[in-house]
Amino acid sequence: MGESSSLSGSGDVPTIVVRDGKGKELLCFLEQLIPLDGHDYALLTPVDTPVCLFRLSDDEEPELLEGLDASEPILSTAEVVLQEHELTLVRSAVTLTVSGELEEPDPEDFDEEDEENDSDDDDAETYELLVSFMVADEEYGLYIPLDPFFVVARMENDHALLVEGEEFERVQPRIEAELEERESQD
């Protein structure tokens, strides 16, 4: 069954490659197109599974590591660990992604865990640990965000350019408002 079950029946959602300012690419499904200020903005979701890298320590909260250089030894180690699971780490635009056959997280597993450690820790519920590994006496983990991961891009000719920084801050609230309006019309 695979991925098509969550899409709108036919499974032929268009895909598009998004580029960021550094020329990195990310293959995404096109979810929505939103016209703003004479541009078409696209709301996209990555085709591969997005992952976030955290530094783990026994006595502190996991620390999210962002903006890692692609040559980081941590990422090289993560690649090797993932290969053992027949997965590939992709240094994409926007986020690291993992391609390969991932087991779908089972929502029932979470309910039980949430009841056991009935804490106010929101972060624990929004990420699932994929793999953890050691680099130079420090432990790291790759986590899958469980919330939907959306990417905003501006369409130019046949290309999608990642919306970042100030432009993102400017258009994001308007895109959210437009989506809410569309949903209320359904």
Query: What are the residue boundaries of the structural domains of the chain, listed by start?
Result: 14-46+148-185
C-beta of residue 105 within 8 angstroms of C-beta of residue 144:
yes
Residue 78 CB neighbours (<10 A): 26
pLDDT of residue 119: 43
Backbone angles phi, psi at 21, to 5 degrees: -60, -20
pTM of the model: 0.72
**What tokens does 165 get?**
């920084």
Point out which residues pair with 44 in neighbouring strands: 30, 151
Say what the pLDDT of residue 71 is: 59
Q: What's the pLDDT score for residue 117?
A: 44
Which residue numbers in the chain have pLDDT < 70? 1-11, 67-71, 103-125
